Amino acid sequence: MRVITGKARGRILETLKGDDVRPTTDKVKEAIFSSIQFELEGRHFLDLFSGCGQMGIEALSRGCSTATFIDRSKAAIKVIERNLSVTNLKQFARVYNADSLSFAKTMGEEYDIVFLDPPYNKGILQEIMPIVAQRMKKTGVIICESALNDEILQKYYKFTLDRQRTYGKIKVSIYRHEDYI
């Protein structure tokens, strides 16, 4: 796994090991960032369920001013911190060892871009989306990666499904505020 483009282009990222780990593929990552490429500069990115942190790191590499990484696994937090050091992006990052749902319920800051990639088929996405949608900037974007059969709604709070693409067994859904569609 590597950083695709930007300041940290080509840097190899460490990933977690184990059966529960499912890093976003380069193909899916490239598709996601291609769809928001002109919305990154100077924005605040939130990577919930961060894993190894590759999505937030890619966002920083491509011009986001800050990225916040949330994961409940201490092993994941260590990998994120090492990846941030390797890419020289640590000064732009905040890393929290926390439960993503709890963090979303208490986050005081509004984010520009949120990436959600929770464990598949456990109902977590359906539970967290209404919370995140109420805490977004009006000009924000919510990106969800889920299993193809994970059911998600067309609208959460004032954020409406703008586009949805499938990549094999993976579904990527992008939501925008109803005033910006």
Residue 20 pLDDT more than 70?
A: no
Closest CA to 130 of 120, 116, 119: 116
Record the pTM.
Answer: 0.95
Residue with tokens 């920083």: 60
Q: What is the pLDDT of residues 42-84, one digit of tens each?
A: 999 999 999 999 999 999 999 999 999 999 999 999 999 999 9
Tell me the one-letter amino acid at 180.
Y
Q: In angstroms, rounded to a whole number, what is the distance separating the alpha carbons of residues 148 and 121?
A: 9
Could you please report the per-residue DSSP string of the chain? -B--SSTTTT-B-----STT--PPPHHHHHHHHHHTGGG-TT-EEEEET-TT-HHHHHHHHTT-SEEEEEES-HHHHHHHHHHHHHTT-GGGEEEEES-HHHHHHH--S-EEEEEE-PPTTSSHHHHHHHHHHTTEEEEEEEEEEEETT----SEETTEEEEEEEEETTEEEEEEEEGGG-
pLDDT score for 23: 82
pLDDT confidence of 19, banded at 50, 70, 90?
Answer: low
Name all domains of the chain by residue range, CATH numbers in brackets.
33-180 (3.40.50.150)
